Structure 1
Amino acid sequence: MSERRRDPESLLRSLKEQTGQSGRGRLKIFFGYAAGVGKTYAMLEAARQVKAQGVDVVIGYIEPHARPQTMALTEGLVSLPVRTVTYKGLSLKELDLDQALKRRPQLILVDELAHTNAPGSRHLKRYQDVEELLKAGIDVYSTVNVQHLESLNDIVASITGIAVRERIPDSVFDEADRVELVDLEPQELIQRLNQGLVYRQGQAQKALSSFFTVENLTALREIALRRTADRVMRITEKVRPQASDYYTDEHILVCLSAAPTNGRIIRTAARLAQAFKGRFTALFVETPAFGSMTDADRRRLRDHIHLAQQLGAQIELLWGEDIPAQIAEFARLAGVSKIVLGRSNTRRPGWGWGKESFSEKLSALAPNLDIYIIPDKQNQSDRPYTPPKKYIPAIEIRLKDLGITLVTLAICTLLSLGFRQIGFSEANIITVYILGVQIVAIVTRGQGCSLIASLAAVLTFNFVFTEPRFTLAAYDEGYPVTFVIMFAAGLLTSSLAGKIKRHAAQSAQTAYRMKVLLETSQQLQQQTTHQGLIDVMAKQLLKMLNKPLVIYDSEERRGQRQLTPPCVYNTEASVPESELVNPNEQAVADWVFRNNKRAGASTATLGSARCYYLAIRAADTVYGVVGIALNGEPLDPFENNLVLSMLSEGALALDKETLARRKEEAQMQVKNEQLRANLLRSISHDLRTPLTSISGNAGILLNSPQSLDSTRSRQLIADIAEDSAWLINLVENLLSITKIENGTMSLNLQTELMEEVITEALQHISRHRREHHIVHEECPQIVLVRIDSQLMMQVIINLVNNAIQYTPEGSRITIRSFLEGQELVVEVADDGPGIPDAMKERIFDLFYTSRGQIADSRRGMGLGLALCQSIISAHGGRLAVRDNVPHGALFSFRCPAEEVCAYESTVDFNRGRR
């Protein structure tokens, strides 16, 4: 029984659901192999069917075809106004992206996905407009032909002889939610052309004689069918990644250059990587000749790097003079299995016979690699390209370098004269001059002075040290050979010295950049605040790029992140801040923040901006935007990669800081919830008991006033007063604890006499003090302290009430204060049963009672001691507990003394002052 095959579109829907793209719009592409097969017609028919189901459908842009049957299907569909752009005297019609986003339909129709927008548009390409619509949650229907796919552009051009300029990355096609192949037999398409249903009669005849031949259409149809089948296969493989043949060890490497045909080589390598399901890397080796490249070649190289990125390549950059050796070494370290080269790269520059070709040397250096040589026939529109020749240092002569050269030769001459007097041979003297040439090559700039030094050394040696001396003639027949060898040795040594100097300069620059990157990582790890992380990123970017920066931070408001006002880090006073921060620049930064993509200068999106904007992002969260003022000079690929690495590391640090802050807030919330639960549990019992007593006693007094004698009435009233006072004290403690937990408690510090505070506090303690013997031993001196008297009074009340509650009747409670050094010590001691050592560590915790558990069976919520500890801590002290000798507990705290005078008194609260 054959296995039932799942529908590809259902597989894709399942994949999208697994990847969590429910909030994103869906893209459906109507795919064809040539104009006229009916893509727009099929799209409009599908839109009308969807509209009949109640979906809000609008037309964003439909190409104005001269096809009555197609345009008739637009009737009954809402069309958004198009945007008119005047360019070189022409009025161009474009999709109005802002109107579409404002209208926000459920489905929008956008014809010609590969279209290039008019200058001045937000995006360079229409597929980028569609991407923004999808990100906003709007479904899109669009159309595209097979020749508009980037990786197939060269194949189609080789078949038809026409290079299509408007292209889309293959990723747009592959990641579409649905692709509907609109197919038509080539003969039927040609018949439609003859009937004038595709183009006007004159255009149709011209098309039939060039592009629309049966052979061309058949080949294009085959490519379209194969490409659609490849997409289905990729979808199937993604849905079941556990297939054993899904991942391979293939690693495809393509070499980048500024040649116009390099794009074709990159596309071939991309198709090869897709076919082998392997990794794809694009490598550029920067040689000393890179500095002499023309602006056009530099732009073309950047375009090729961008193309490789679009096709999924990992960009790698190396520096060196021997390109085959650099490629072979990288391939060995990176595990490359296949290399793709263009034929223009296969011949090494040089003279003479037997020179190895580029591919031959690469094969000799890396014999285990498969090397693919791609023919690179240029299109007629491409100007002839001449690869950069071997690097020849610039002949640059400065007066300072010329002076150094003359001084060095003079010193060499003086040394040589000294050696001649000593009896050294001419070979030793020649060595001195070669050394001088090396010194000149190292110290001076360029190779001009090295050339002069080599020639001058030969002439000076001939003039001073050969016979006849002080003439340029030479009697010995061997001298000309000596002069030639000496000149060649000087040139060779100076060339090697210059090469070493260039390598050292490049290594120093690379090391500096790596140092900045390492410093960034280290400094980010040391920061603990959000602003500190932003400042580190700005400082390190300035250090590496030396270009003005604008950083837009973000903050959460009402559950969403929003940009904050920008901060400018300007290294050049010549760049006014108004150029870096204005409504246009802020609009670009806001677009980058909302869309999580790069934009601005040197990009295809809002390219007229002054700065190049990048998102500081970690996964899908954007923490800010960085704008770099490029001043017309785009970042080179190596710099761009370093900037992305620094921003990525900074975003990870910001993400870590945000998670830590949220974790802390969550812990605080859990703590508050626990506090609230404990309060409710304690209050449910502790408030009910006194309230029941008050209600009962009040009811007796109201209902039976005549049956109660005066003693009984006073007892009931006293009980009511005591329970009310207990409730007041409880509420005061609760309010104080709440202020402390919220951080809103403030101290009203004043200079007070501690004895007066203690005396006042003892007047407000529990009425059960009559059952205990309370003694106040005042300090022998008059000591003034700086305290909050109300809060300190509450501490004394709580400590004494705690002693009353947990000691038996008749116990002695002593409050004493005494001066110890420059501090006043206050102690509250009792002679009760004391506190076990195991409880002393937790006795100041909230809701902890003498039973070691949450109090819910006796009156006492475990708030008093915790509140006392918080108040004393706010005064800069600490409440401590220890055993009272011979038995009991003793609580003590200290306060700094302000002023001290002699005095002595003791108060027994059961007998009065004595």
Structure 2
Amino acid sequence: MVRESKDDRGDPEAILHAIQAQEDEAQRRGHLKIFFGYAAGVGKTYSMLRAMHEQVARGVDAVIGYVEPHARPETERLAQGLESIPRLQIAHAGIVLEEFDLDAAITRAPTLIAVDELAHTNAPGSRHAKRYQDIEELLHAGIDVYTTVNVQHIEGVNDVVASITGVTVRERIPDHIFDEADQVELVDIEPEELIERLQAGSVYRKDQAQRAIDNFFTPENLTALRELALRRTADRAGKVVQAARVLTKHSGRVGEHILVCISASPTCPRIIRSAARMAAALHGPLSALYIETPSDHDMSESDREHLRKNIRLAEQMGATVQQVAGEDIAYQIAMFARVAGVTEIVMGRSGEIRGPGWLLPGRRLVVDRLLSEAPDLDIHIIPDQATRERAHGRQHTRAQARGAVAESSHDLVKQLMVTVVLLALSTGVGIGFRSLGFADASIISLYILSSLVCAITTSGRIWPLVSSVISVVLYNFFFVVPVGTFLAIDQSYLVTFGIMFLTALISSELTGRISRSARQSARIAYRTRLLFETNKLMQQAEGAEAVATIALEQLCRLLGRSVIFYPTHGHTLGEPSYVTPDGESLALEALSDYERTVATWVLANNKHAGASTDTLPQARCLYLAIRREFAIFGVVGILMEGTSLDAFENSIMLSIIGEAALALDRDRQAKKREEARILAKNEQLRADLLRSIGHDLRTPLTTISGAAAILRENGEQLAPERAAELVDAISSDALWLIDIVENLLTVTRIEDGSAHLNLTSELLDDVLPEAAFHLAHQAQNHHIRVIPTEGIVMARMDVDLVMQLLSNLISNAIKYTPAGTTIELSAKREQTWVRVFVADTGPGIPDSEKERIFERFHTASAGKPADAHRSLGLGLALCRSIAEAHGGTIEIHDNHPHGAIFSFTLPAEEVTLRE
């Protein structure tokens, strides 16, 4: 299969299938074993393939993903007999490149796979830019991996290798890949034996071998590289031992904290690597500090790109990157070191980096000022000079600089014109002042004023300096006798010129500092206000959808770019929502299947991907997961359009996404707490129900059982009156049990939503007598009176449920009122409602009980039941549920002079009279 790398970014369905296969198979993270050497030809691939044969002999499902035989017969013979995954062919620049097929490997899902050349750079159009990223995805999918790498490909020793060999290796892996490998096997032979292999043609062809021996594979280089490989292996072993001590709580060297100062300098990577090696040796944390100064606002695009690369390198080396703002670099470093508990500072020695300025007293190099600001800290100065690669590429760098100057020529002309216009205006106004007889001090003030305005309206220090010099020259030419010449008869004017120049220069420098600080303060204030506003809005947001909307709007405001959000539903993405700066529709390309595939990959792997990254870089958007620990709440896509974010934008973006993750996590925790509360409430209700049933049903069940036993054993000997009493007792208790069970079932159906109301129009003068008749057998010792309604009163109701409601209210009145009392049923129309009343003349309900009378399992303490049964406390709770199911309410009031009145409302039905 040949895949075009241009415009064809891969089959989305194939990648999605691979991601799905990864999710299904990723029951555990795979193990990584690295076969490590100090140079090509030491036998890494040979040792790896031999280990693969041993695993196959043990019954392990092992395959070859990618092996580069380098035309070596021994390696080719070992590769035979092992299953190999076909290579992926990618067409690029008119040739077909063979690469490791990651999708095929994940789909095949072997137990063990061999992938050669860990530091390899993949062809354009591949999912990942580097092969070690392919291997990380294999490990995430639960597949064990064997791979190979040489010492010169490890990022942390890149500068050391360059100093040894004079060659800067381009293909490198982060140190943590090597350090976190499960196993590292050092493949080692003597340098002399390696040279003999080269001369014999066992590594390269003889013509290539001789060139390699003459240039790279010299005995000195090989010996130094071998020593470096041995040392790096020992360092890794030391880290493993240190980690074991931490896990077993053994003490080791603690308390060291390394701080590396990063900048946009092209040589900063060397400083970062040195600091990382120091942190590894001291077993201490590594922090990287970038100080944003006012002049950074005018940073060139090339410097911004260098800064982004340096920050990314610091993160790869395991540093925690922090960013602060200020003009006094030494003071900011010292303050951060005190707050963060830094013990060692690593920085470059550069004459170009100074303190806040260079005119005022105390302006020294950052290193000198830092020594006075933080005398108690150890400061390590790394020579800030380029490697040989920089010397080789100096001519190219100068050409790039000339191109940058040409690109900025328009700005230079604009600032030159501003300076010329200000000086011309000052000179013209000064001539007017001279003609009006004003003193020379007024004219000098004009030129100082022009230098101040120049410092405000231009960028950089060169233009205020030029303005100050030219001001002295113009004042001498136009206003000092002899006028029109550059001569001054009075020698005291020389002092005036000097004071004028210094005054203008210092004033313009201070004004420029204030202007730059104001711009920086505005950026800091904007960042603070945006973060504060985001935090406030997140606190007020209710629900995940509101949080996502706020995050999208804030990111769109910050970046001025379109932002997409994919919510998560388990392990899948939902339908996207987006916000655009102009409020218009988003381009369809940003919502394509390929873009969704990249977002799905981010969800599956919990890593950044897309534009400006090394994973699926062909995407139009940069995708980041909104996550909190291991929970992912959604995926955010930022439309990049071929550009990248600067350090300021990136830090604020991550802060907003972090705020969104916290808000979504709070929402998730609140839902869990609510679910737990409901579950606990349900458990409590279930316990109350079981306890009530177990206690309150015991008496009627005992009565039924005892009466039935007496009738069965002595039925023929009992008097008819006694037998009738027993039968009545069985019937009464059985009816009571039936009512209780019916109430339970009805409450359950109403509250779980399974009860559907069968609404009909009913006449209250028919419903109330029917309810009274239904309970006539229970009210033998009470009087139930139905009061006719005034006129025709009809209501919309489920007649069966309303009959049950009335039965419960009447039964409640019968049980809790003395014998011989009267129970009245009535109804009346109240606008759009019909209110039904059940009134008794019993002892009434105390005020303390009225608030809880309709709660489940609550029984009134006043009065005594008419029989031996206690109520379960479900009858009145069911009455409230039925009334609310009809859209009405239920209330309780006192019946003067004594008793209680229960009333509930039902929707009124209009009466239509036909002629």
Q: Which residues of 2 match residues 175-190 of structure 1 at below 5 A?
A: 175-190=180-195
Is contact 2:119–2:173 with CA below 8 Å preserved after alignment?
A: yes
Q: How far apart, in 2, do the equivalents of 1:448 and 1:232 lie?
A: 54
Equivalent of residue 374 in structure 1, options 355, 375, 382: 382
One-letter amino acid of the counterpart of residue 509, structure 1:
R
Q: How far apart, in 2, do the equivalents of 1:453 and 1:266 lie?
A: 40
One-letter amino acid of the counterpart of residue 271, structure 1:
R
Q: Aligned-pair distance for 1:535?
A: 0.5
Q: Which residues of 2 match residues 602-751 of structure 1 at below 5 A?
A: 602-675=612-685, 729-730=739-740, 732-743=742-753
Q: Which residues of 2 match residues 69-468 of structure 1 at below 5 A?
A: 69-241=74-246, 245-246=251-252, 248-287=254-293, 290=296, 295-319=301-325, 323-345=329-351, 358-375=366-383, 376-380=385-389, 383-384=393-394, 394=412, 396=414, 426-427=440-441, 430-431=444-445, 434-435=448-449, 438=452, 442=456
| Secondary structure at the counterpart of residue 389 of structure 2 | coil
| Secondary structure at the counterpart of residue 518 of structure 1 | helix
Q: Which runs of 5+ in 2 are unaligned?
A: 1-25
Change (3 A) 1:156 1:843: same
Deviations 1:355-379 (A, max 9, x none): 9555334434433333323233422
- Number of residue-to-residue matches in the alignment: 869
| Secondary structure at the counterpart of residue 86 of structure 1 | strand
| Secondary structure at the counterpart of residue 374 of structure 1 | strand
Q: How far apart, in 2, do the equivalents of 1:206 and 1:847 lie?
A: 94
Q: How far apart, in 2, do the equivalents of 1:466 and 1:746 lie?
A: 104
Q: Aligned-pair distance for 1:642?
A: 1.6
Q: Aligned-pair distance for 1:658?
A: 1.3
Q: How far apart, in 2, do the equivalents of 1:399 and 1:793 lie?
A: 95
Equivalent of residue 902 in structure 2, options 870, 876, 891: 891
Is contact 2:426–2:446 with CA below 8 Å preserved after alignment?
A: no
Q: Aligned-pair distance for 1:174?
A: 1.3
Change (3 A) 1:713 1:538: same
Q: How far apart, in 1, do the equivalents of 2:43 and 2:313 lie?
A: 30
Equivalent of residue 547 in structure 2, options 508, 533, 536: 533
One-letter amino acid of the counterpart of residue 657, structure 1:
D
Q: Aligned-pair distance for 1:713?
A: 12
Deviations 1:667-700 (A, max 9, x none): 3344445555666676789999999999999999
| Secondary structure at the counterpart of residue 780 of structure 2 | helix
Deviations 1:95-121 (A, max 9, x none): 100001111111111111111111111
Is contact 1:769–1:804 with CA below 8 Å preserved after alignment?
A: yes
Deviations 1:327-360 (A, max 9, x none): 4444444443323233445776989xx9955533
Q: Aligned-pair distance for 1:573?
A: 7.1
Q: Which runs of 5+ in 1 are unaligned?
A: 1-20, 901-914
Share of identical aligned residues, percent?
50
Change (3 A) 1:459 1:177: closer
Q: How far apart, in 1, do the equivalents of 2:607 and 2:234 lie?
A: 31
Partner of 1:522: 536
Change (3 A) 1:791 1:253: same
Partner of 2:890: 879
| Secondary structure at the counterpart of residue 36 of structure 1 | coil
Change (3 A) 1:202 1:407: closer
| Secondary structure at the counterpart of residue 441 of structure 2 | helix
Partner of 1:864: 875
Is contact 1:401–1:445 with CA below 8 Å preserved after alignment?
A: no
Is contact 2:768–2:826 with CA below 8 Å preserved after alignment?
A: no
Q: How far apart, in 1, do the equivalents of 2:202 and 2:543 lie?
A: 67
Q: How far apart, in 1, do the equivalents of 2:463 and 2:265 lie?
A: 34
Partner of 1:592: 602
Cα RMSD over matched residues? 4.9
| Secondary structure at the counterpart of residue 565 of structure 1 | coil
Is contact 1:825–1:892 with CA below 8 Å preserved after alignment?
A: yes
Is contact 1:822–1:896 with CA below 8 Å preserved after alignment?
A: yes
Relative to structure 2, which stretch is displaced further, 430-439 or 206-215?
430-439
| Secondary structure at the counterpart of residue 240 of structure 1 | helix
Q: Which residues of 2 match residues 17-32 of structure 1 at below 5 A?
A: 23-32=28-37
Partner of 1:768: 778
Relative contact order (alpha carbons < 8 A, sep ≥ 6): 1 or 2 greater?
Answer: 2
Q: How far apart, in 2, do the equivalents of 1:281 and 1:598 lie?
A: 22
Q: Aligned-pair distance for 1:81?
A: 0.7
Change (3 A) 1:218 1:409: closer
Q: Which residues of 2 match residues 56-75 of structure 1 at below 5 A?
A: 56-75=61-80
One-letter amino acid of the counterpart of residue 551, structure 1:
F
Q: How far apart, in 2, do the equivalents of 1:730 and 1:188 lie?
A: 95
Q: Aligned-pair distance for 1:655?
A: 1.4
Q: How far apart, in 2, do the equivalents of 1:149 and 1:436 lie?
A: 56
Q: TM-score, normalised by structure 1?
A: 0.81
Q: Aligned-pair distance for 1:597?
A: 0.5
Q: Aligned-pair distance for 1:467?
A: 8.2
| Secondary structure at the counterpart of residue 30 of structure 1 | strand
Change (3 A) 1:861 1:398: farther
Relative to structure 2, which stretch is displaced further, 137-146 or 43-52?
43-52
Q: Aligned-pair distance for 1:75?
A: 2.9
Change (3 A) 1:330 1:675: closer
Is contact 2:565–2:636 with CA below 8 Å preserved after alignment?
A: yes
Is contact 1:733–1:863 with CA below 8 Å preserved after alignment?
A: yes
Is contact 1:408–1:440 with CA below 8 Å preserved after alignment?
A: no
Deviations 1:134-156 (A, max 9, x none): 11111111112222211112222
Change (3 A) 1:503 1:752: farther
| Secondary structure at the counterpart of residue 112 of structure 1 | coil
Partner of 2:14: none
Equivalent of residue 845 in structure 1, options 855, 875, 878: 855
Q: How far apart, in 2, do the equivalents of 1:714 and 1:532 lie?
A: 69
Q: How far apart, in 1, do the equivalents of 2:205 and 2:839 lie?
A: 110
Change (3 A) 1:575 1:773: closer
Q: Aligned-pair distance for 1:28?
A: 1.4
Change (3 A) 1:464 1:176: closer
Q: Aligned-pair distance for 1:313?
A: 1.3
Is contact 1:394–1:448 with CA below 8 Å preserved after alignment?
A: no
Q: TM-score, normalised by structure 2?
A: 0.81
Q: Aligned-pair distance for 1:445?
A: 8.3
Q: How far apart, in 1, do the equivalents of 2:705 and 2:850 lie?
A: 38
Relative to structure 2, which stretch is displaced further, 105-114 or 396-405?
396-405
